[in-house]
Chain A
Amino acid sequence: MTRSPNKDVLFGLYDDETKILSAVSEARAAHLDIYDVFTPFPVHGMEDAMGFTESRLHQAGFVYGLIGTLTAFLGMTWVFTSDWPIIFGGKPYWSVPAFIPVTFELTVLFAAIGMVVTFYTICGMGPGIINPTLHDRITDDKFCLAFDVTDVSDDEKAKFKTFLETSGAEEIDQKHI
């Protein structure tokens, strides 16, 4: 299933991460609205250059983990104290130390599955999903800075183009995705 954002995108390809980092900083300083930046690997300093806030994925992970903890611990408590109490080895029905291994494992399991599902959902990815890409070498060795030019005046577009040219883009192209 192809998920198209239905946009005209003007983009420039740079051949080094230092070049795109300075280009992104300059573009933001010049108040140009960046559509997105695509890189073959995580470029350090890009979050700051793009002005991203910290990802809240870990907070979600904590909540999922907590759900796992409670599911396991309360579940075992319910089974062994009210649903079907059995004495094992002369221990009390509610034998907390014996519940710890399963509680720990389910905490990790819920947190991991929850976060991975959240990650793919918020990134709009998943099995069978195809997101259109701008250039085949973005996943290889090119660093791409893209501007949205869907309903943009020619003046504005020229401004983007000049910026890409002056900031050291090797190749400039426009594509409908």
Chain B
Amino acid sequence: MSGHISPIREPLITGAKTYHQITEDICGPTERTPSVAWMIAFILAVTGLAVYVFCVTWTIWVGIGSWNLNRTINWGWDITNFVWWVGIGHAGTLISAILLLFRQKWRTGVNRAAEAMTIFAVICAGQFPLIHMGRLWLGFFIFPYPNTRGPLWVNFNSPLLWDVFAISTYFTVSLLFWYTGLVPDFATVRDRASGFRRKMYDFLAFGWTGSAKHWQRWESLSLILAGLSTPLVLSVHTIVSFDFATSVIPGWHTTIFPPYFVAGAIFSGFAMVQTLMIITRKVLNLQDYITLEHIDSMNKVILATGSIVGVAYLTELFISWYSGYIYEQFAFYNRLMGPYFWSYIGMMACNVISPQIFWSKNLRKNITVTFAMSIFINIGMWFERFVIIASTLARDYLPSSWSYYSATWVEVGLFVGTLGLFSTCFMIFTRVAPVVAIAEIKSILKNAGDQYVGMKNALKHDHKHESVKANGGDAH
């Protein structure tokens, strides 16, 4: 019944937990009055959100001219932020879907929070193309609906429209997957609550009872949604990369973009998961569920995807030289030696060189190092998108229209503001929903809990001892 316990794996749940103790530990944060630290952080987050609302209002009121975009450089911080946020979202789906299909048990400790991160990151990402339109109130024109203008349809051949479909599908499917996973855990919180909280969780739990047939269907549904989300998550960043790759701009028009963007997305997403989980496990006392083993596993993913990204950067440079096409060669020369050389250096240092320290197991299991690295990678991946977008556009085919771009306070405010939007959502989430998937943790307790892993080793030892004796007997 207890399934396979690998003798070489470290336990994923420490502290010799019982089922009830797991419920207590994980439901606790939603039931206690928030701590002072949480309150201060929440006030900061809401301040960031207020900055966001102000800057959006300013952009709409004054017009898109309040940004420093110009005729040559028509994408700047806005699309950089969009790609950065979408990329961050990818780690959540990778953890919840791809690691489910690969039967990686360590995903259960972090999947809930990572999926929440996905949803909030996609919300933040979606803001930028919308505001960037200028006339926000006409945003619904991006959807193909029967209209009185002909009907005039959207251009289904445009990668920007594919993006609309990709991002909205990604958001919807992630939300459904996340919520379906949450329903049994909301029922757990519901059954401990009373009064108004009981009513609230009665609503959120959708009438979950825990019936055997429902669990069977729930598992079947989770597996299929994981199976659907896997190609979906790969398609989303592929399509985001098509925004660039299907254009005929040197430096963008490359076939390497889809895999390179997907690897970069997973890389930056895991960095953000590390940033969030290192804080969350400490603040909510979840060190027994999000262990050093989890952090180690995620650092391995960071190392692998960081190296893929590094290879992609070098391949890009080589191919631009090897192509013999002077415009392509100039585009890359310009990235290294042009006016934005500093962002290229930042990108290389943060994304390619620094993650290599994770070849060391000690550093992978060091929380301070991991936290610092996660911030580096977040910055590096932002630079990557800025390099691709701004440095390329600043030097186009016509030297007479070359230009330089730096953001205005409005654009900086919008970026900082989305960090506020994201943090506000995430902090509310940690107060309302169980941050770790309770039911899934319980289902792996007997093959990943430290007391059971120890027991199995002891049993194995005894068994070996007996078999040696038995062999000895045979020899006689």
Contact = CB atoms under 8 A, between A and B. Distances in A.
Interface of A: 3, 17-18, 21, 36-47, 50, 52, 54-55, 57-58, 61, 75-76, 79-80, 83-84, 86, 88-89, 91, 95, 98-99, 101-102, 104-106, 108-109, 111-113, 115-116, 119-120, 122-131, 133, 136-141, 144
Contacts of B220: 54-55, 57-58
Contact of B172 (A80, A113, A129, A131): A113
A145 to B, nearest CB: 10
Nearest to B219: A42
A105 B235 contact: yes
Given A112-B176, A127-B203, A136-B192, A61 B213 contact: no
Contacts of B162: 101-102, 105
Contact of B1 (A18, A36, A50, A76): A18
A41 B157 contact: no
Contacts of B165: 101-102, 105-106
B211 A38 contact: yes
Contacts of B155: 86, 88
Given A111-B228, A112-B176, A137-B20, 7 more contacts: A41-B442, A42-B218, A57-B217, A57-B220, A99-B156, A109-B172, A136-B192
A11 to B, nearest CB: 12
Interface stretch (B99-107, B183-191, B291-299, B333-341): B183-191
A82 to B, nearest CB: 12
Nearest to A22: B1
Given A84-B153, A98-B157, A140-B20, A125 B207 contact: yes
Contact of A139 (B177, B180, B210, B219): B210
Contacts of B213: 36, 50, 52, 123
Given A38-B212, A101-B235, A123-B214, A84 B191 contact: no
Contacts of A139: 184, 187-188, 190-191, 208, 210
B142 interface: no
Interface string B155-181: 111110110011011001100110010
Contacts of B153: 79-80, 83-84
B166 A101 contact: yes
Contacts, number: 190
A42 B207 contact: no
Interface size class of B (residues with CB under 8 A): 35 or more
A106 B180 CA distance: 20
Interface stretch (B144-152, B303-311, B404-412): B144-152
B176 A127 contact: no
Given A104-B235, A115-B224, A119-B221, A50 B212 contact: yes
Contact of A39 (B156, B215, B221): B215
A58 B213 CA distance: 15
Contact of A141 (B19, B177, B215, B216): B19
Nearest to B189: A139
Contacts of B10: none
Contacts of B35: none
Given A105-B166, A105-B235, A40 B19 contact: yes
A34 to B, nearest CB: 9
Contact of B191 (A86, A127, A133): A133
15 contacts: A18-B1, A37-B212, A41-B440, A55-B220, A84-B152, A101-B159, A101-B165, A105-B162, A109-B168, A112-B228, A125-B183, A133-B191, A136-B191, A139-B208, A144-B210
Contacts of B203: 127-128
B351 to A, nearest CB: 27
Given A38-B211, A57-B224, A141-B19, A46 B206 contact: no
A37 B213 CA distance: 8
A95 B155 CA distance: 12
B212 A52 contact: yes
Contact of A126 (B188, B206, B239): B206
Contacts of B415: none
A155 B442 CA distance: 38
A120 B206 contact: yes
B212 A116 contact: no
B317 to A, nearest CB: 28
Given A38-B212, A45-B1, A116 B180 contact: yes
B3 interface: yes
B209 interface: yes
Contacts of A140: 19-20, 23, 188, 191-192
A80 B156 contact: yes
Contact of A58 (B177, B206, B224, B440): B224
Contacts of B150: 84
B148 to A, nearest CB: 14
Given A38-B212, A57-B224, A44 B1 contact: yes
Contacts of B67: none
A108 B212 contact: no
Interface in B54-74: none
Contacts of A113: 172, 176
Contact of A105 (B169, B209, B210, B211): B169
B221 A57 contact: yes
Contacts of A128: 203
A54 B213 CA distance: 10
B7 interface: no
Nearest to A101: B162
Contact of A102 (B156, B207, B225, B228): B156
B231 interface: yes
A175 B206 CA distance: 22
